[in-house]
Amino acid sequence: MYVYNDFDEGFVRERVAQFRAQVERRIDGSLTEDEFKPFRLMNGLYLQLHAYMLRVAVPYGTLNSAQMTQLAHLADTYDKGYGHFTTRQNIQYNWPELRDVPDMLSDLADVGMHAIQTSGNTIRNVTADHFAGAAKDEVEDPRPIAELLRQWSTDHPEFQGLPRKFKIAVTGCEADRAVIRAHDIGIQVVRNKAGEIGYKVIVGGGLGRTPMIGKVLNDFVSKADLLPYCEAIVSVYNLLGRRDNKYKARIKITLHENGIEKIQDLVNARFEQIQPVFAGVDPQCLAEIEHAFAPPLFKTASTDGYEAARLANPAFRSWTDTNLADHRADDYAIVSISIKKQGATPGDATSEQMRVMADLAAKYGHDELRISHEQNVILPHVHKSDLHAIYTALRDVDLATANIGLISDIIACPGMDYCALATARSIPVAQEIATRFDELKLEHEIGALKIKISGCINACGHHHVGHIGILGLDRAGVENYQITLGGDGTETTTIGERAGPGFGADEIVPAIERLVLGYLDLRMCKEETFLHAYRRLGAAPFKDILYPEKAQKNAA
């Protein structure tokens, strides 16, 4: 994977030194909060309900074991022994003290990490398919261009004061695991008829208060043109995007108000202007980046022990059935480590768990880890002969839950337990749903089901694209939860449909239970997932289950 060169290292160190001086000046009274706030936000430091929160970027979700070990060190030294992995492949520390933050950033710089542009109206951390470089169905590893985009967008002088934040996601496959259609720019690596690699560029997707699915701006942008093309998009948005109304400032609204044709014309005109003089891509630089992401040397070994362990140990078999994905190399697998044991906080990992995952990556996983937008941790390259040893080590630290893609593998934002913007809590709802279906022993019977929970309209919990989405609101001073149905965050992206009136905090878990048990009665067979059943039947029978009194009234 990519290792900082002298320029990266120098840049990040200088930023830490600048921020250290800014913190000192804030504490000694030389800077007011109004003066200091833009500086702290530029460095990922937020002030939440109970404490500061530091958001650290995990670029395109990729970490090595030394970086993961350092994240554990930060959790122990400056926080309360844990960190929270987010839907943007970042990690958040919920309890740092202001004085310690420069030291945290310095410790991060020691392992080639930072918190730059994890806040503010800038281009944020570029996210990627968490199976990138390992997935069997991939055209090409999208991380070299993600790294190129990171370098291009970091401290880009033209794009430090955009109308609003700007999020880019990349994937190397048709199967979309990075929700690229819900990003300001979504990039998919494709191959044209001539066999050349290029990029399909999608713009104007987003969730939040006005959810929209991105539109294809260009079916094929060549590798050499990708950066100037992205520069043209952001440059057009920078001028055209609205600054009069925060809620209409994202590029999805710019696109909606101006139409795709006008945006296309403007982007093409701007592209033609800048492409001949664009100095942003040095082919040698890209070659070095691509080299850094070259696949590891895969080993060959017998998988007899793996098959035998599967036969002998039903719990191991269940875990392999649920938590593995197809790898491009023979006899390898992609391991998804669930950090969502039923009843635990989605996305939270203790420092001990981080160290165990880091050690496993070093010992068995070619030193690579990934953070998924679904708030789990991935070991992307594992030989099947090592799976049992990994499972055993994970089980010892409560990380062997066999629930990937199932009802308890819930995305939940921090909600009002931490977030200053939240209107209701998300975490307890996730905990209760997971615990309840574990008690019912129905999780595997229910099968693939994505529940996503946001604690406010900003939709960090991606509720719009949950098969079942839950949105927490404040209704006259009481927590209230709205359900959306039929959302989908993959290549067939769909915004969920609101089911009806919201439910109180004590009603939401029973409502979800009713809905899911009702689905079991409605499905044609075990293979028909919740989403498939919803698409076949439409919303009506599901609404009847959620609101039985209304259904009875209509029937009478």
| Helix axes 530-537 and 508-522, enclosed angle (nearest 10) | 70
Query: Using DSSP, how many helices (H) and how many strands (E) does the chain show?
Result: 19, 21
Least distance between other proteins and beta carbon 33 (Å): 5
225-228: Cβ within 8 A, 24+ apart: 225/271, 225/275, 226/145, 226/148, 226/187, 226/199, 227/148, 227/149, 227/152, 227/278, 227/280, 227/281, 228/271, 228/274, 228/275, 228/278, 228/280, 228/281
- DSSP string spanning 125-155? PPEE-TTTTTBTTBSS-SHHHHHHHHHHHTT
The interface with other proteins within residues 31-50 (CB under 8 A) comprises 32-33, 47-50
Nearest CB to other proteins, comparing residues 232 and 470: 470
The answer to whether 425 contacts other proteins (rule: CB under 8 A) is yes
Cβ-based nearer residue to other proteins, 419 or 483? 419
Looking at the Cβ atoms of 283 and 477, the one nearer to other proteins is: 477
Comparing CA positions, the residue from 39, 4, 2 lying closest to residue 20 is 39
Asked if 458 interacts with other proteins (CB under 8 A), we say: no
Considering only residues 482 through 511, tell me which ones interact with other proteins, judged by CB under 8 A: none
Nearer to other proteins, 310 or 436 (CB): 436
The nearer residue to other proteins, 50 or 246, going by C-beta atoms, is 50
Contact by Cβ (8 Å): 351, 82: yes
CA dist 95 and 78 (Å) reads 8
Residues 394 and 337 sit within 8 Å (Cβ to Cβ): yes
Closest approach, Cβ 403 to other proteins, in A, equals 18
| Residue nearer to other proteins on the CB measure, 474 or 491 | 474
Nearer to other proteins among residue 46 and residue 293 (C-beta): 46
x/- mask, other proteins, residues 428-447, rule CB under 8 A, reads x--x----------------
* Count of residues of this chain found to bind other proteins when the rule CB under 8 A is applied: 31
Of residues 339 through 368, those in contact with other proteins by CB under 8 A are 345, 348
- Taken as a whole, the chain contains a residue count of 556
Q: Cα(459)–Cα(210) distance, rounded to whole angstroms?
A: 10
Nearer to other proteins, 32 or 245 (CB): 32
Using rule CB under 8 A, residue 55 touches other proteins: no
Q: How many CB atoms lie within 10 A of CB 551?
A: 15
Min CB(441)–other proteins separation in Å = 24
Amino acid at 118: T
Q: How far is the CB of 536 from other proteins (least distance, A)?
A: 37
Among residues 477, 506, 525, 553, the one that binds other proteins under rule CB under 8 A: 477
Nearest 5°: CA angle at 206, between 84 and 368?
40
26 binds other proteins (CB under 8 A): yes
Cα distances (angstroms) measured from residue 185 to each of 208, 216, 224, 253, 281: 15, 10, 18, 13, 19
Q: Among 4, 8, 51, 313, which residue sits at the site for other proteins (rule: CB under 8 A)?
A: 51
Give 19 or 131: the residue with its C-beta nearer to other proteins.
Answer: 19
Cβ atoms of 355 and 72 closer than 8 Å: yes
Footprint on residues 91-110 left by other proteins (CB under 8 A):
94-99
Cα end-to-end span (Å), the chain: 64
Q: In angstroms, what is the minimal distance from the CB of 51 to other proteins?
A: 4
User: How many C-beta atoms lie closer than 10 Å to residue 159's C-beta?
Assistant: 20
Q: Please state the closest distance from residue 289 (CB atom) to other proteins, in A.
A: 38
The reply on whether position 75 binds other proteins by CB under 8 A is: no
Residue 432's contacts (CB-CB under 8 Å, 6 or more residues apart) are 509
> Taking the complex as a whole, how short is the minimal distance between the CB of residue 425 and other proteins, in angstroms?
6
Q: What letters, b where the CB count within 10 A reaches 16 and e where it falls short, cover 478-496?
A: ebbbbbbbbbbbbeebbbb
Query: CA-to-CA distance for 75 and 147, rounded, in angstroms?
Result: 26
Q: Is 470 in the site for other proteins (CB under 8 A)?
A: no
Supply the minimum distance, in Å, between the C-beta of residue 297 and other proteins. 42
Q: Given candidates 80, 256, 262, 395, which one binds other proteins under the rule CB under 8 A?
A: 80
Closer of 418 and 534 to other proteins (Cβ) = 418
416 binds other proteins (CB under 8 A): yes
Minimum distance from CB of 75 to other proteins (Å)? 13
Q: Pattern of binders to other proteins over 155-194, x per CB under 8 A?
A: ----------------------------------------
Q: Would you say 254 or 423 has its CB closer to other proteins?
A: 423
Task: Indicate the burial class of 452 (C-beta count within 10 angstroms; 0-12, 13-18, 19 or more).
Answer: buried
Please, which residue, 84 or 88, has the CB nearer to other proteins? 84
CB of 50 to other proteins, least distance (A): 5
Closest listed residue to residue 545, CA positions, set 506, 519, 508: 519
Min CB(186)–other proteins separation in Å: 32
**Residue whose entry in the numeric block shows the structure tokens 């009481």:** 478
User: Which range in 133-141, 476-484, 494-502, 539-547 contacts other proteins by CB under 8 A?
Assistant: 476-484
Residue type, 358: A
**Rounded CA gap, 518 and 495, in Å?**
22
For binding to other proteins (CB under 8 A), which residues are involved?
A: 26-27, 29, 32-33, 47-52, 80, 94-99, 345, 348, 416-418, 425, 427-428, 431, 474, 477-479
